[in-house]
Homo-oligomer: A and B are copies of this chain.
Amino acid sequence: MIRCDCAVCRSPDPRDNRTRASIYVETPECKFAVDTGTDFRTQCLRENIWEVDAVVLTHSHTDHIMGFDDLRRFASPRGGRIPVYASAETMADMERVYEFAFKATHRWPGYLHPEPHIIRGPFSLGETRITPLPVPHGHSETYGYLFERGGARLLAYLSDCSAVPDDIARKIAGVKVMVIDALRHKPHPTHLSVAQALEVAERVQPGQTLLTHICHELAQSAEADLPPRTGLAYDGLKLAIEP
């Protein structure tokens, strides 16, 4: 973190060097990003990502949208068009922040031209069924997402939440992998703590739990203290989730 020389910020473990939370999903029919945070370009270069067919957004906080313009490199081979999925509130913020792209001011040939898709319920990207999971994030709301293929609950992604209501926990019960917000041990008004995330896992009973959106108050080495089938996600972590 800027202006910090704590043990985690100076850690030699590369997994303690964290950029902003997001995921990239590859399926045979469609490759998509969930969020385009400020580090999106850095992450795409690091992971050598060459294709993004669509973008799904969790919410419009800066750490989740400020790399959106770098989608241009993925969009330009298709005339600039790229489908963007978000809640109505998030899309309104995107249209305000990226006015030049959505309204096509300052237009270049092949320049980023997002196609807004307001999420009003489950939708599909290729053969992946995606169900929005509205969760509180302090006083605001974000969308987590459940990803299913062939009727199997493969992944629940809940990157920014301060609680997971029971109706959401039931929707993702038994999911193969749950990636969930756990900022640190100390409680925080807009993010789950480690203990709170583990309590959600007790209700959901996922096959595997990975904590994400971790701040510098939690070292990667803290993974050793977590329950079985529970880990700390890190930059560049790759998962193969089979139905």
Contact of A96 with B by CB under 8 A:
yes
Contact of A99 with B by CB under 8 A:
yes
A63 → chain B closest CB, angstroms = 8
Contact of A39 with B by CB under 8 A:
yes
Contact of A229 with B by CB under 8 A:
no
What per-residue 1/0 map shows which CB atoms of A123-149 lie under 8 Å from chain B? 000000000000000001000000000
Contact of A45 with B by CB under 8 A:
yes
Contact of A25 with B by CB under 8 A:
no
Contact of A3 with B42 at beta-carbon distance under 8 Å, contacts A66-B67, A96-B96, A99-B96 already known: no
A115 → chain B closest CB, angstroms = 19
A181 → chain B closest CB, angstroms = 17
What per-residue 1/0 map shows which CB atoms of A45-88 lie under 8 Å from chain B? 10001100000000000110011011001100000000000000
Residues of B with C-beta under 8 A to A70: 2, 38
The residue that A38 contacts in the complex, of B2, B38, B49, with Cβ under 8 A, is B38
Residues of A within 8 A of B (CB-CB), count: 24
A114 → chain B closest CB, angstroms = 13
Q: Which secondary structure dominates where chain A touches chain B?
A: helix
Residues of B with C-beta under 8 A to A106: 140
Contact of A104 with B by CB under 8 A:
no
Q: Are A45 and B97 in contact (CB-based, < 8 A)? A: no
Interchain CA distance A138-B99 in the complex, whole Å: 19
Residues of B with C-beta under 8 A to A2: 41, 44-45, 49-50, 70, 73-74
What per-residue 1/0 map shows which CB atoms of A26-45 lie under 8 Å from chain B? 00000000000011011011
What per-residue 1/0 map shows which CB atoms of A1-29 lie under 8 Å from chain B? 11100000000000000000000000000
A31 → chain B closest CB, angstroms = 13
A84 → chain B closest CB, angstroms = 16
A-B CB proximity, top 9 nearest? A2-B73, A62-B69, A66-B66, A97-B97, A2-B44, A3-B73, A3-B50, A38-B38, A96-B96
Known A1-B73, A42-B42; further 6 A-B contacts with Cβ < 8 A: A2-B41, A2-B44, A2-B73, A3-B50, A66-B67, A96-B99
